[in-house]
Structure 1
Amino acid sequence: MQSTLRQPRVALGWITFLLIAVVGLFYVKWFPYYNRAFVAASQHSIGKSILMGTAANAPAPSWHAAIDYALAYGKAIWQAMVLGLLLGSAVQALIPPQWVARALGKSGFGSVVNGGLMSLPGMMCTCCAAPVVAGLRARQAAPGAAIAFWLGNTVLNPATLIFMGFVIGWQWMGLRLALGILMVFGLGYAVNRMVTPKEAEASRSEMAKLVTAEDPGTAFTRWIRILGRMTIRLVPEYIVLVLVLGAARAWLFPHIGPNIDNSVLWIVGLAIAGTLFVIPTAGEVPIIQAMLSLGMSAGPAGALLMTLPPVSLPSVAMLGRSFPPRVLTFVAVAVVGFGIVAGLLAVALGF
């Protein structure tokens, strides 16, 4: 009898989740990006660089620089952040934990593939995807599957790849796609291999509790409660770090010009800066376009191509409770490594 009563609730939860996902993504991502693709094709541009506009220098570190960047960045991503929080909490309140376990809970490569493929419709920036990743991890998705979902939202974003081809060249799109596939699925697989037997046992125990637990109240009240907790926990630290990075732009990205050449020092330096910094979805495209137009060489541009989108200091902080520190450290260092490889390949291939 209890199972019979539960089935309509489960179906309603799925319908609600899918409605939010489809309507939200259509309004925030799919339709705007569809229109922007035509702009990219006709104008070979999708706007100014959010980092420094058309100038060769970012503004000097100051409170004014912090506020200006935070406002510009917030205007670009606030709708996607709201959607990310809604979906991240809905994953925990509306979707049965058994489904997450079946699709994303195993330690094999299959769950990593599922996580990477599920990320493709999302097309979110690293920070807006973070609440969804946190929700998946709270439902005991395997670490590697969650990492593949997180990274896939940015580096395999179909819209960004199309913008990239029209704006800065299809050779850059090919480089991003090839290394992006390796990053998403390779790092996801590596992270799954990092799970210790103790962590695996703890995850199985927590999953058993989730399956048998009877949460008080309705799914809707549980969803609101989880949404409130996620918002209070994630948003304040996120805002503070965006302000800090907005103020520190001039330190992370020096005067851009022909002096930013193909030396390994510049490639490594900008790979690290790109990994730390935070940008909206597809923000790397006008940033790299502006920097190349100012005379920066291809090597540093390649480094930014692979490091600006996938992770950032704010998104890593947002997921600090979802992964062990060694996993987040490994992913961040690996992203820097991918940036260095991309820079060296851009030089070797004569971009």
Structure 2
Amino acid sequence: MQSTLRQPRVALGWIVFLLIAVVGLFYVKWFPYYNRAFVAASQHSIGKSILMGASSSAPPASWQAAIDYALAYGKAIWQAMVLGLLLGSAVQALIPPQWVARALGRTDFSSVVKGGLMSLPGMMCTCCAAPVVAGLRARQAAPGAAIAFWLGNTALNPATLIFMGFVLGWQWMGLRLALGLVMVFGLGYLVNRMVTPKEAEASREAMAQLVSTDEPGTAFTRWVKILGTMTLRLIPEYIVLVLILGAARAWLFPHIGPSIDNSLLWIVALAIAGTLFVIPTAGEVPIIQAMLSFGMAAGPAGALLMTLPLISVPSMAMLGRSFPTRVLTVVTLAVVVCGVISGLLAIVLGF
């Protein structure tokens, strides 16, 4: 009888979750990006660089620089961040934990593939995807599957790839797609291989407890509680880190011009800077376009192509409790190395 009564509640939870996902993504991502694709095709631009505007250098480090960047960045991403928090909390409150375990709980390559494919409709920036990743991990999704979902939102974003083709050139889009596939599925597989027997056993015990425990209150009250907890835990540190990075733009990205050549030093330096910095979805496209127009070489641009969108200091901080430190360390180093490889390939291929 209890199972019979539970079925309508589970079905209602799924309906609400899917409505939020479909309506939210249509309003925040799919429809705006559909229109922007025509702008990219006709004007070969999707706007100014959020990093430096029309200038060849970022403003000096100051409170004003921090506030200006935080406001511009916040204006670009706040709707997606709200959607990310709603979905990240809804995953934990509205979807049965067994479903997450069946779909993404195995520490094999199949869960990585599923996580990567599930990311494609999201098209979120690394920080807006982070609450959803946190929600999946709270429901014991395998680390590699969650990493594939996280990186897939940025590296394989279909809209960004289209913008990139029209604005930067289809050779840049091809480079991004090829390396993005390697990063999403290869790194996801590697992270799953890093799971220790002790961690796997702890995950099984946590899942068994989630399934057997009858959580108090209705699904709606649990959802509100989880949403509030996630917001209070993730957003304050996120805002502080965005302010710090906004002020530090001048240090991370010096004066852009022909002096930034194809030397390995510049490629490595900008790969590290791109890994640390935070941008909105597709923000790397106008940033790289502006830098190339000021005379920067293709190698450093290739490094930024793969590092600017994938991760950032704020997104890593938001997921600090969701993954072991060694996993986030490996992901960070892998993104830097991928950026260096991307820069070197841009030189070899004659971009």
Which TM-score bucket, shorter chain as reference? Answer: over 0.9
Report how far residue 202 of structure 1 moved: 0.2
Secondary structure of the equivalent of 2:59?
A: coil
Q: Which residue of 1 aligns with 2:303?
A: 303
Deviations 1:196-216 (A, max 9, x none): 100000000000000111011
Q: Which residue of 2 aligns with 1:268?
A: 268
Asked if residue 114 in structure 1 is aligned to residue 96 in structure 2, the reply is no
Q: Which residue of 2 aligns with 1:192?
A: 192
Deviations 1:39-74 (A, max 9, x none): 000000000000001101100000000000000000
Task: Determine the C-alpha separation between the residues in 1 that align with 2:134 and 2:266.
Answer: 34
Secondary structure of the equivalent of 1:151?
A: helix
Report how far residue 111 of structure 1 moved: 0.1
Task: Determine the C-alpha separation between the residues in 1 that align with 2:160 and 2:11.
Answer: 34
Task: Determine the C-alpha separation between the residues in 1 that align with 2:177 and 2:132.
Answer: 23
Report how far residue 116 of structure 1 moved: 0.1
Deviations 1:173-198 (A, max 9, x none): 00000000000000000000000100
Q: Which residue of 1 aligns with 2:155?
A: 155
Structure 1 residue ranges without an equivalent (≥5): none
One-letter identity of the residue aligned with 1:95: I
Structure 2 residue ranges without an equivalent (≥5): none
Aligned pairs for 1:244-323 (under 5 A) are 244-323=244-323
Task: Determine the C-alpha separation between the residues in 2 that align with 1:322 and 1:153.
Answer: 17
Moved beyond 4 Å, runs of 4+ = none
Aligned-CA RMSD value = 0.2
| Aligned residue-pair number | 351
Asked if residue 32 in structure 1 is aligned to residue 32 in structure 2, the reply is yes
Aligned pairs for 1:172-191 (under 5 A) are 172-191=172-191
Report how far residue 248 of structure 1 moved: 0.1
Q: Which residue of 1 aligns with 2:338?
A: 338
Deviations 1:24-44 (A, max 9, x none): 000000000000000000000
One-letter identity of the residue aligned with 1:147: I
Task: Determine the C-alpha separation between the residues in 1 that align with 2:4 and 2:51.
Answer: 55
Percent identity of equivalent pairs:
85
Aligned pairs for 1:57-96 (under 5 A) are 57-96=57-96
Report how far residue 287 of structure 1 moved: 0.1
One-letter identity of the residue aligned with 2:146: A
One-letter identity of the residue aligned with 1:286: P
Task: Determine the C-alpha separation between the residues in 2 that align with 1:330 and 1:54.
Answer: 35
Aligned pairs for 1:208-247 (under 5 A) are 208-247=208-247
Report how far residue 8 of structure 1 moved: 0.2
One-letter identity of the residue aligned with 1:255: H
One-letter identity of the residue aligned with 1:293: S
Task: Determine the C-alpha separation between the residues in 2 that align with 1:225 and 1:331.
Answer: 31
Q: Which residue of 2 aligns with 1:98?
A: 98
Q: Which residue of 2 aligns with 1:143?
A: 143
Task: Determine the C-alpha separation between the residues in 1 that align with 2:314 and 2:13.
Answer: 31
Secondary structure of the equivalent of 1:16?
A: helix
TM-score, scaled to structure 2: 1.00
Aligned pairs for 1:6-25 (under 5 A) are 6-25=6-25
Q: Which residue of 2 aligns with 1:53?
A: 53
Deviations 1:100-153 (A, max 9, x none): 001000011000000000000000000000000000000000000000000000
One-letter identity of the residue aligned with 2:181: I
TM-score, scaled to structure 1: 1.00
Secondary structure of the equivalent of 1:211?
A: helix
Asked if residue 326 in structure 1 is aligned to residue 326 in structure 2, the reply is yes
Task: Determine the C-alpha separation between the residues in 1 that align with 2:254 and 2:166.
Answer: 27
One-letter identity of the residue aligned with 1:112: V
Task: Determine the C-alpha separation between the residues in 2 that align with 1:233 and 1:97.
Answer: 22
One-letter identity of the residue aligned with 2:11: A
Task: Determine the C-alpha separation between the residues in 2 that align with 1:138 and 1:146.
Answer: 11
